[in-house]
């Protein structure tokens, strides 16, 4: 392990980590909405909506993220009608393709996390809310959602970490994220050990931050 | 308990000896299997291509027991250094940059690079010579590079990562184009056909092969490139401390050139004689 060599390339890797953070945060942000949306469909009364949500989560959790990102990036680009439609503005760029793939993937996992959180809410609490005359909307936003968020925090923290690491696949669609730049440096210096150790440490640092944020939130929203 | 542990250790030692007893004349050759027509895979996953057949011939001549090892392109040289294989035959051009890390045999084939675009591109019909050599081209090459710089300004160009083609684009010889790097040449071709990139740069034969097999209207534009960042032909990559193997390969390549085997294989796979 050549420390000087590692330090020399650290700035470039840190700069690339910015894109990794960006991809992670954007995907998680959109993913929460997708996740909550499909979790509501799953816990609602409609059979059709239930199955739509069920199969969405089934497909995206049942296939590798790499395959999903390849289908969205390389696969869709093969279809002429997609290239001629307005969607192409969006799908032409590797950046938006990566965000789309990551959002749909994390959305599927989050929907399962939120669904189980909704399902564990004590019936008595809902009944109490109804008894107090709260409207359905109010019950959802003021009672169900806060409890569900608290319930899902540990599992969701896990999902955030998985997503962070998942963004390394952005390098397969030409994006120069942390992994992409690490590979690039290796391909010109032929020294994988140092570069991967530095890149790995940066990932570890980011995971450390997520881990502690979740821990703090868990403490803050400890209702029990 | 102690005895069991000893037995365990000795059986591990025995296994290690068993697996490390590599015969002196066995050579592992690393190749990518994704750069047709140099090296590729057929439908059944078998390695085929110019270099696969050449490697077989060289091995027979060297009386060596060879195995071809598949390796992703971006890990090709690290894999050699880490002894995953003993030689590289993967359309790898001999460049000064790579020579800092590994040795090369004498070149066995010439690789000329070219830009490719989809038919109808505004880059078609550039006014450049047919071929330029960056080492010996002098004024004509400089003039051609100027024309290219003007034509390529603001364009996005796709290349396979860690290639001479990427090095060339990054050298600034054609100005500051937007470079997009891909893991394999297949992916470069896909994005060229999809219109995500304005042009691509690779071995000319990689594009003609793709155009022929896919039926996509991919056309070569501008001059073909050689010399300079493009290196001096394709050779066998060998570890620096492996002088004996280097000598063997050089002798075998000499023989293959003399008896016309390289020309024969080149015509079979490239359609023209790329031997050197």
| Alpha-carbon span B147 to B132, nearest angstrom | 12
**Inter-chain residue contact A78 with B101, CB threshold 8 Å:** no
- 3-class secondary-structure state, position B122: coil
Q: How many domains does chain A have?
A: 1
Q: Provide the domain limits for residue A44.
A: 3-220
Give B9's pLDDT tier (boundaries 50, 70, 90).
low
| Alpha-carbon span B236 to B57, nearest angstrom | 14
**Inter-chain residue contact B194 with A78, CB threshold 8 Å:** yes
Q: What's the mean pLDDT in B238-263? A: 95
* Smallest Cα distance from B79 to chain A, Å: 9
Q: How far is CA A65 from CA A101, B33, B167, in A?
A: 8, 24, 31
% residues pLDDT > 90 (chain B): 74
> Given this model, what pLDDT does residue A2 score?
79
% residues pLDDT > 90 (chain A): 75
% residues pLDDT > 70 (chain B): 91
| Residues ≥6 apart with Cβ < 8 Å to B42 | B48
Q: What's the mean pLDDT in B86-99? A: 93
pLDDT in tens, B229-246: 898 899 999 999 999 999
Closest CA to B39 of B111, B114, B97, B118: B111
> Given this model, what pLDDT does residue A60 score?
97
**Inter-chain residue contact B190 with A187, CB threshold 8 Å:** no
For residues B271 and B105, the answer to whether their CB atoms sit within 8 Å is no
pLDDT in tens, A13-24: 999 999 999 999
Quick check: B20 pLDDT over 60?
Answer: no
- 3-class secondary-structure state, position A57: helix
Distance of CA B51 to the CA centre of its chain: 10
Read off the DSSP letter of residue A212. Answer: H
Quick check: A94 pLDDT over 70?
Answer: yes
| CATH of residue A179 | 1.10.3720.10
Quick check: B21 pLDDT over 50?
Answer: no
* SS percent in chain A: helix, strand, coil, step 5: 85, 0, 15
Least reliable range by pLDDT among A124-128, B86-90, B137-141:
B137-141
Which of B77, B190, B195 comes nearest A190 by C-beta? B77
pLDDT in tens, B37-84: 999 999 999 999 999 999 999 999 999 999 999 999 988 999 999 999
Which of B97, B101, B183 comes nearest A172 by C-beta? B183
DSSP per residue over B57-69, as a string?
Answer: HHHHHTT-EEEEE
Give B18's pLDDT tier (boundaries 50, 70, 90).
low
A27: tokens are 């995907």
Least reliable range by pLDDT among A89-103, A119-133, B191-205:
A119-133
**Inter-chain residue contact B162 with A187, CB threshold 8 Å:** yes
Q: Is the dihedral of CA B214, B218, B220, B226 positive or negative?
A: negative
Quick check: B191 pLDDT over 70?
Answer: yes
How many angstroms separate the first and last alpha carbons of chain B? 65
For B88, half-sphere exposure in the C-beta direction (CA atoms, 13 angstrom radius) is: 30
For residues B71 and B91, the answer to whether their CB atoms sit within 8 Å is no
Closest CA to A42 of A146, A152, A34, A162: A34
For residues B87 and B31, the answer to whether their CB atoms sit within 8 Å is no
Q: Which positions in chain A touch B74 (Cβ < 8 Å)?
A: 183, 186-187
Nearest residue of B to residue A192 by CA position? B78
Q: Which positions in chain B touch A186 (Cβ < 8 Å)?
A: 74-75, 78
pLDDT in tens, A61-84: 999 999 999 999 999 999 999 999
> Given this model, what pLDDT does residue B22 score?
47
| Alpha-carbon span B273 to B276, nearest angstrom | 9
A77 touches chain B (CB under 8 A): yes
How many angstroms separate the first and last alpha carbons of chain A? 49
């Amino acid at each position: 392990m050549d420390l000087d060599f590692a330090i020399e390339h650290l700035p470039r890797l840190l700069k690339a980590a910015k894109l990794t953070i960006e991809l992670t945060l954007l995907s998680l942000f959109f993913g929460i909405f997708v996740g909550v949306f499909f979790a509501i469909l799953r816990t609602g009364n409609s059979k059709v909506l239930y199955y739509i949500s069920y199969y969405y989560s089934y497909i995206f959790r049942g296939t590798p993220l790499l395959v999903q990102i390849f289908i969205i990036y390389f696969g869709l680009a093969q279809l002429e009608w997609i290239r001629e439609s307005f969607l192409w503005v969006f799908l032409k760029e590797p950046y938006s393709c990566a965000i789309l793939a990551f959002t749909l993937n994390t959305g599927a996992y989050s929907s399962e996390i939120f669904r189980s959180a909704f399902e564990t809410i004590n019936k008595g609490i809902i009944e109490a809310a109804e008894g107090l005359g709260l409207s359905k909307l109010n019950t959802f936003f003021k009672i169900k959602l806060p409890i569900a968020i608290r319930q899902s925090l540990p599992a969701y923290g896990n999902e955030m970490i998985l997503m962070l690491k998942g963004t390394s696949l952005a390098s397969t669609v030409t994006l120069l994220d942390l992994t992409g730049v690490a590979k690039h440096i290796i391909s010109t210096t032929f020294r994988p050990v140092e570069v991967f150790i530095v890149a790995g440490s940066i990932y570890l640092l980011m995971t450390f931050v997520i881990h502690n944020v979740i821990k703090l939130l868990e403490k803050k929203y400890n209702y029990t | 308990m102690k005895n069991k542990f000893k037995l365990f250790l000795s059986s591990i030692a025995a296994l290690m000896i068993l697996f490390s007893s590599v015969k002196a004349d066995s050579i592992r050759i690393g190749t990518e299997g994704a750069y047709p027509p140099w090296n590729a895979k057929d439908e059944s996953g078998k390695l085929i291509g110019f270099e696969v057949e050449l490697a077989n011939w060289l091995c027979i001549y060297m009386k060596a027991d060879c195995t071809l090892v598949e390796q992703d392109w971006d890990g090709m040289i690290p894999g050699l250094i880490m002894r995953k294989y003993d030689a590289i035959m993967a359309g790898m051009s001999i460049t000064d940059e790579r020579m800092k890390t590994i040795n090369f045999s004498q070149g066995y084939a010439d690789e000329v690079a070219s830009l490719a675009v989809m038919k109808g591109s505004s880059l078609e019909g550039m006014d450049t010579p047919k071929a330029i050599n960056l080492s010996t081209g002098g004024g004509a090459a400089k003039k051609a590079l100027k024309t290219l710089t003007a034509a390529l300004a603001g364009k996005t160009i796709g290349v396979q990562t860690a290639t001479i083609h990427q090095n060339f684009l990054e050298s600034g010889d054609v100005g500051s184009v937007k470079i997009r790097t891909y893991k394999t040449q297949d992916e470069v071709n896909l994005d060229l056909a999809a219109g995500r990139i304005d042009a691509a740069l690779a071995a000319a034969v990689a594009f003609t092969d793709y155009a022929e097999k896919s039926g996509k209207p991919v056309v070569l534009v501008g001059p073909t490139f050689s010399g300079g960042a493009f290196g001096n032909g394709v050779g066998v990559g060998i570890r620096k401390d492996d002088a004996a193997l280097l000598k063997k390969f050089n002798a075998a390549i000499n023989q293959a050139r003399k008896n016309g085997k390289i020309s024969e294989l080149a015509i079979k796979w490239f359609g023209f004689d790329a031997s050197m």
